[in-house]
Structure 1
Amino acid sequence: MAFTPLHDRVLVRRVESDEKTAGGLIIPDSAKEKPAEGEIVSVGAGLRDDAGNRVALDVSAGDKVLFGKWSGTEITVDGEELLIMKESDIMGIIA
């Protein structure tokens, strides 16, 4: 199934977090927090301004981003769990 976000929404794939702490302790799945960073899979075309012109998004497919802990809605596309969220939920691009 192909999925294209609309307007100012983006589709994000979470980046898996480390399974060990800095001290070498293994973190069980039940204690892991969901990571708040991910990679943009696809983006919408953007919103329209008052004059009807399209305002492009600041992020693009392939960007690594940081987003809020409770941001987005989880969806499953082709068996893969992804997040759909508004661009405003993204805090920044990771260089």
Structure 2
Amino acid sequence: MAKRLMPLLNRVLVEKIVPPAKTHAGILLPETSNKLNSGKVLAVGPGLRDKTGNHIPVAVKEGDTVLLPEYGGTTVKLGEKEYHLYRDEDIMGTLHD
């Protein structure tokens, strides 16, 4: 049975994107060549409520590619895969092609 983690409040579940270790032609790339720390949003929580009860939605949506901080987040292992939970405000931005 597959488990699905649904984040609470303003949490965002992210799968980090691992940069390729070599090019299509087979040239090995050094680890320092791709420093961009990014991931794909898999699930988002419903958001928070302010002091007056107004809903504050999460800024990203499922499927977004996001820029992540170098440190932070909580590592979660489900089955053989590793995911990361971040607060909405810790995500630095979205990436577009």
**Does the 8 A contact of 2:40 with 2:64 survive in 1?**
yes
Number of the residue aligned with 2:78: 77
Residue of structure 2 in register with 1:93 after alignment: 94
Q: Distance in 2 between matches of 1:34 and 1:80?
A: 22
Question: Structure 2 matches for 1:1-95, cutoff 5 A?
Answer: 1-20=3-22, 24-27=27-30, 36-95=37-96
Which structure 1 segments of 5+ residues have no match? none
Which residue identity does 1:50 align to in structure 2? K
Cα distance in 2 for partners of 1:88, 1:45 equals: 14
Read off the aligned partner of 2:4 and give its amino acid letter. A
Percent of pairs identical after alignment?
A: 34
- Which TM-score applies when normalising by structure 2? 0.80
Runs (4 or more) in structure 1 with deviation over 3 Å come to 24-28
Deviation (angstroms), 1:93:
0.2
Separation in 2 of the partners of 1:39 and 1:76? Answer: 16
Distance in 2 (alpha carbons) for counterparts of 1:94 and 1:56: 19
Shift of 1:2: 1.9
Q: Distance in 2 between matches of 1:6 and 1:34?
A: 30
8 A contact 2:36–2:67 mirrored in 1: no
Give, in angstroms, the shift of residue 79 of structure 1: 2.3
Provide the aligned length of Structure 1 versus Structure 2: 91
Q: Secondary structure at the match of 2:93?
A: strand
One-letter identity of the residue aligned with 1:77: L
How far did residue 18 of structure 1 move?
2.4
